[in-house]
Amino acid sequence: MKSNRDINKIRKSRPSEIGPLITALNFFHPLSEEMIRYFEQKLVLIKCTKQTLLLQSGDICKYIYFIKKGLVRGFIKEGGKDITTWITADNELVTSIHSLDLEVPALENMQAIEDCEFLALSSRHLKQLYIQYPDFNITARKLLQHYYRDAERRALLIRHANAVFKYHFFLENYSHLSNRVPIKYISSFLGIAFETLSRVRKKMATSAK
Amino acid sequence: MKSNRDINKIRKSRPSEIGPLITALNFFHPLSEEMIRYFEQKLVLIKCTKQTLLLQSGDICKYIYFIKKGLVRGFIKEGGKDITTWITADNELVTSIHSLDLEVPALENMQAIEDCEFLALSSRHLKQLYIQYPDFNITARKLLQHYYRDAERRALLIRHANAVFKYHFFLENYSHLSNRVPIKYISSFLGIAFETLSRVRKKMATSAK
DNA sequence: GCATCCATTTGACAATCGTCAACTATTTTG
DNA sequence: CAAAATAGTTGACGATTGTCAAATGGATGC
């Protein structure tokens, strides 16, 4: 498996490249002009290929990533197997919240499952941002409220009674991922064997005719 | 099932009663004297009996509750059955984060599973707090980071391979609940039938001798 | 374009677990 | 205290799903 040495391109971002992130953040709480300048100065653009590990469990997470383009999953190692705990795509933020803030080793891994482009902010600059522009604590609070809800939705997904209900819930809540993510990651995310998911898909296809 | 009319005692809290909440919040980020005064003025003390619904799905959550004493669970109704999504005890905060902030109907229910005593702050006063004492956004951000981690832990719990692993994980992470919460809630929280949990417990007791 | 690799499908079978039912133990309440 | 309600245990059985194995399909690279 590729390690984070494969984060093969990293450079300062250009102001013209950060629009989608600013839009996403503004949606939660308006950013001041000064904050936008700060992002323009501190954000870096990172490109990586499919399979690259952005974060490895045991390491300390150094960045919060905004996915400009691509697909990323989180997973943990449990009894020799991967368990995919989330999958997320373009225009979303990803990081290990706990590791980033407390500078402790992360439990989870993060991996690109498509070639990706990120805007990344280091934990150092994020912390400086909280101090220099206290209003950003409001933005972060609202972001966390939003992502807390996402975490609850994922927990609900795997609590569904059987494979069919889980996949239905997946289609209702993550339809944008269903034709983009390999079945092995979806099945792991749903907590079922990939063979089972294959059978569920077949059953749904034939019964819907 | 008892409704929230059973929240049978509610009165202004006394300063001497709010210590544990202040201590808990200070742990995340120090509160100023003014903020503590604010809590002293706005917190209410709520008592309710076992089984009381603090929040019913479809209603808008009006309070954030600090559990001074007691035990509370969150659950959703799914296909005629309850699914317990969290269980929490003394000295923890509970609310529907999403419903409280956005003033939209909650999806989940909250229910006391012991006689309880809460310190409660209304959403109106919480929002005023964010405005009047912007530093409280830092506290809230850190609280949310902490509770996000809890949500991930719960998701991990139900992703474990089988009933034995789930119960082991439960004992490691929620040992304070194992002898206090009825088996039907624990089993639902673990995503297994209560009969299965009964058998797991027996097997562990006999194999440990 | 062929060979290799990886993703997905399909089948067979066994393990795990949920459901139903009966029973026992414990708690609550009048 | 007795009766009733609630909580927990145990057994039998079937449904769902995971595992292993083999086959097929598609993508990638030389």
Which nucleotide minimizes the distance between its C1' and the CA of A162?
Answer: D16
pLDDT (tens digit per residue) in A44-82: 999 988 889 999 999 999 999 999 999 999 999 987 789
- The two tokens of residue B144 are 């949310």
B77 CB within 8 Å of a chain A CB: no
Among A205, A208, A182, A195, smallest CA distance to A84 is for: A182
Mutation pick from A64, A148, A185, A196 vs chain B, by most beta carbons of B within 10 Å, is A148
For residue A50, what are the CA distances in angstroms to A1, A91, A107, A112, A114?
11, 18, 22, 5, 4
User: What does the pLDDT profile of chain A (209 residues) look like in tens digits?
Assistant: 444 445 667 888 888 889 899 999 999 999 999 999 999 999 999 998 888 999 999 999 999 999 999 999 999 998 778 999 999 999 999 999 999 999 999 999 999 999 999 999 999 999 999 999 999 999 999 999 999 999 999 999 999 999 999 999 999 999 999 999 999 999 999 999 999 999 999 998 877 54
Question: CA-nearest residue of chain A to B156?
Answer: A85
Order of strands, edge to edge, in the sheet holding B63-69? B9-12, B44-48, B116-122, B63-69, B93-94
Contact: B159, A85; criterion CB under 8 Å: yes
Closest C-alpha among B120, B115, B123 to residue B12: B120
Which chain A residues have a beta carbon less than 8 Å from that of B141?
130, 137, 140-141, 144
From B152, which residue of chain A is nearest by alpha-carbon distance? A151
**Tokens, residue B173:** 């992470």
Q: Which residue, among B34, B46, B10, B39, has the nearest Cα to B22 in the 3D structure?
A: B39
CB B167 within 8 A of CB B204: yes
Chain B neighbors of A98, CB-CB under 8 A: 145, 148-149
CB atoms within 10 A of CB B168: 13
Q: How far is B9 from chain A (nearest CA, A)?
A: 30
In chain A, residues with a C-beta closer than 8 Å to the C-beta of B191 are: 158-159
